[in-house]
Amino acid sequence: MAVDPLTYPSVEALSQSELRALTQAASWYANYHRHMIEEEADDPSIAALSRREAYRDLHAALAKLGIRRVLPDALRS
């Protein structure tokens, strides 16, 4: 799903409980999919590359929100 972030309000528009819910959901998603990303580390397909890039973006966004997660070894470069 593609989303244009310029068409949505900024993070500041969220209430504390909304931001907490969003970050908890994103953190859960990252944790849940971590093993799948690691299993595909050597997959050169466009689909796998795209999933790895999306995961890196999620990891970076969570870090900017103050949620520190360990980046899977397979994604460290």
Rounded to two decimals, the pTM is 0.78
Check if the beta carbon of residue 30 is closer than 8 Å to that of residue 62: yes
Residue 2 confidence (pLDDT)? 61
Residue 8 lies in a domain: no
pLDDT of 60 > 80? The answer is yes
pLDDT of 5 > 90? The answer is no
Check if the beta carbon of residue 66 is closer than 8 Å to that of residue 32: no
User: Of residues 54 and 72, which shows the higher confidence score?
Assistant: 54
Residue 9 lies in a domain: no
| Domain region containing 29 | 15-75
Residue 54 lies in a domain: yes
Residue 31 confidence (pLDDT)? 92
Closest CA to 68 of 76, 56, 58, 59: 59
Residue 23 lies in a domain: yes
User: What does DSSP assign to residue 41?
Assistant: T
Residue 3 lies in a domain: no
